[in-house]
Structure 1
Amino acid sequence: MTEHKSPQGIQSLQLGLNILDVFLEKAHPLKFSEVQEYTGMTKSNLYKYLHTLTQSGVLYRDPVQNTYSLGSRLIEYGNAALGSTDIIGRVLPYLKEISQQTSLTTLLAIWSHDGPVIAHIWNANYGINIGAQIGAKLPLLSSSGKIFAAFMKGTERQEWELKELSKLTELKRKEFIKERHEAEKNKFTYASEPLIEHISSFSVPLLDFQQNLLGSLTVVGFTPLIPKNTEDEISQYVIGQANKISASFGYRL
């Protein structure tokens, strides 16, 4: 009987993917020494990989902070994989405008096969560590996660929600159910420091002509600067921008 062997992979390609996995796992910019520590690669070998990945746009090197982070080229790959190029292109100018008007970081979250992920981020001028980066999955209790729980349809969303709820205490589950009902009514969610200390967020849904959820528009910043309800001037402004985006996909109030 002939033994079938699995084809041997390309080791150098796997090493490059391992480096990208480090950035995905750590979810914040890393210095060269940190990448070396997490990968265990020699300095000379790691430098070659980082240089190649940076040149191709898969990684980005900040010349001021001398740190590396996931690059814009990955946005193109991710958009193609998720079939979301249209919404990214349409929302991007709004992310930029909202960030410039509010001096807060804005992001777009879309649905992947097992939960919401960050599809694009527009950082505020001063720059903050929001605890996540492009491609990162967002938990149920994040403001984006609450939007998807309230407005996303289908069994995938239900399975994801049940899985996330199983990680919570009974008290947290009850609080979440109450917040989900409020989100359905107000089309607004708030999360106090869901990923990193001192950083909070609020989100609003982006809907199409059939009232299907396209994604969540999220504003992130230092906790005292983030509105907790729809009455705030910043909230009203962002809701208005989200309504414009939704209207471009045929949604009517």
Structure 2
Amino acid sequence: MAEKKNTQVQSLLVGFSIIDLMVERGIPMKFNDIHHETKITKSNLYKYLHTLTSLGILHRDDNTGMYTLGSTLIQYGMAAVNKEDVVTKTNSFLQQINLKTKETTLLTVWTQSGPMITKMIHSSLGLNLGGQVGSILPIQSAAGKLFAAFMNNPMIEAWKNDQQANWDKKDRQWLDEELDIIQEQKISFAKEALASSISSVAIPIFNYNDDIIGSIIVVGFADAIPQSTDHELSLYLLEKSKEVSSVFGGKL
């Protein structure tokens, strides 16, 4: 017998509706609150909560009786994060952008030395615009500014300080203003950061925790690369940023 398409197990859907509620609320919840929100009958809700608790998906505090997310769910999430293969999962997006723009398209991820090129699809025109897989990009590059704008940890702060070690006050102020704009617009532009007459535009890739885990860059001659958000290509890339981030649970 042929398997029916779109067949779903109703009890699993109900169980995950409880988990979704706990994730959305983000706070301990009482039985009555869960009942009120889910509209599941009390007799069935007892069964679901008991099952989810016994599996460690949820945790019930013995003193308060309130429910929170359990350790098993955290383990599942960490397993998914540890298997987060940015290069593989973004490959189709890089190809789409490369076909659309016909310009060199790069993927970068963060390393201790700064954003590193991990994937490159060359321009359809066969232009060699500098840089290669393994190259580390500077802070004034489109990708460098993205990571500087959205990462927030001691490692990124040390890198920013090192990159600006020989900068004067005016240049430092310029970067601060650029980063504020990038945080608002969620797209980054750069001129001649990689080579003379070469410009670039970069979009961030966010995960479920709104952490930047990579960036996609389009590189080309200055007259082919936008430098503002109202350009058709910029709008296209902003949509692609949402699409690729959703693969990792990001919500822009």
Q: TM-score, normalised by structure 1?
A: 0.65
Aligned in 2, Cα 1:227/1:131: closer, same or farther, shift over 3 Å? same
Counterpart residue number, 1:105: 104
SS in 1 for 2:194: strand
Give the Cα separation in 1 of the matches to 2:138 and 2:242: 25
Give the Cα separation in 1 of the matches to 2:225 and 2:168: 26
Task: Please state how far the C-alpha of 1:96 moved relative to its aligned partner.
Answer: 1.0
Contact 1:188 1:229 in 2 (8 A): no
Aligned: 1:170 with 2:178: no
Aligned: 1:213 with 2:212: yes
SS in 2 for 1:197: coil
Task: Please state how far the C-alpha of 1:102 moved relative to its aligned partner.
Answer: 1.1
Moved over 3 A (4+): none
Task: Please state how far the C-alpha of 1:84 moved relative to its aligned partner.
Answer: 8.0
Task: Please state how far the C-alpha of 1:234 moved relative to its aligned partner.
Answer: 0.7
For residues 184-210 of structure 1, what are the alpha-carbon distances to aligned partners after superposition, in whole Å with 9 as ceiling and x for unaligned? 111111110112111110111110111
Give the Cα separation in 2 of the matches to 1:156 and 1:122: 29
Counterpart residue number, 2:90: 91
Give the Cα separation in 1 of the matches to 2:127 and 2:175: 27
SS in 2 for 1:161: helix
Q: In structure 2, what residue type is equivalent to 1:192?
A: K
Larger radius of gyration: 2
Give the Cα separation in 1 of the matches to 2:203 and 2:121: 16
Give the Cα separation in 2 of the matches to 1:143 and 1:221: 12
Task: Please state how far the C-alpha of 1:146 moved relative to its aligned partner.
Answer: 0.2
Mapping for residues 67-78 of structure 1, pairs under 5 Å: none
Counterpart residue number, 1:249: 248
Moved more, 85-94 or 219-228: 85-94
Mapping for residues 47-66 of structure 1, pairs under 5 Å: none
Task: Please state how far the C-alpha of 1:229 moved relative to its aligned partner.
Answer: 1.4
Counterpart residue number, 1:118: 117
Give the Cα separation in 2 of the matches to 1:85 and 1:212: 13
Q: In structure 1, what residue type is equivalent to 2:138?
A: P
For residues 46-90 of structure 1, what are the alpha-carbon distances to aligned partners after superposition, in whole Å with 9 as ceiling and x for unaligned? xxxxxxxxxxxxxxxxxxxxxxxxxxxxxxxxxxxxx88711001
SS in 1 for 2:171: helix
Q: In structure 2, what residue type is equivalent to 1:122?
A: I
Counterpart residue number, 1:130: 129
SS in 2 for 1:194: coil
SS in 2 for 1:221: strand
Contact 1:194 1:200 in 2 (8 A): yes
Give the Cα separation in 1 of the matches to 2:126 and 2:176: 33
Q: In structure 2, what residue type is equivalent to 1:183?
A: I
SS in 2 for 1:239: helix
Q: In structure 2, what residue type is equivalent to 1:131?
A: G
Counterpart residue number, 1:234: 233
Give the Cα separation in 2 of the matches to 1:223 and 1:201: 8
Task: Please state how far the C-alpha of 1:124 moved relative to its aligned partner.
Answer: 1.3
Give the Cα separation in 2 of the matches to 1:248 and 1:194: 29
**Structure 1 stretches lacking a partner, 5+ long:** 1-82
Aligned in 2, Cα 1:216/1:84: closer, same or farther, shift over 3 Å? farther
Mapping for residues 172-187 of structure 1, pairs under 5 Å: 172-187=171-186
Aligned residue pairs total 171
Give the Cα separation in 1 of the matches to 2:155 and 2:104: 29
For residues 95-141 of structure 1, what are the alpha-carbon distances to aligned partners after superposition, in whole Å with 9 as ceiling and x for unaligned? 11111111111111100122111111111111222221100000000
Counterpart residue number, 2:152: 153
Give the Cα separation in 1 of the matches to 2:131 and 2:168: 24
Counterpart residue number, 2:76: none
Give the Cα separation in 1 of the matches to 2:198 and 2:128: 8
Give the Cα separation in 1 of the matches to 2:130 and 2:83: 23
Give the Cα separation in 1 of the matches to 2:103 and 2:215: 16
Q: TM-score, normalised by structure 2?
A: 0.65
Give the Cα separation in 2 of the matches to 1:131 and 1:239: 25
Counterpart residue number, 1:201: 200
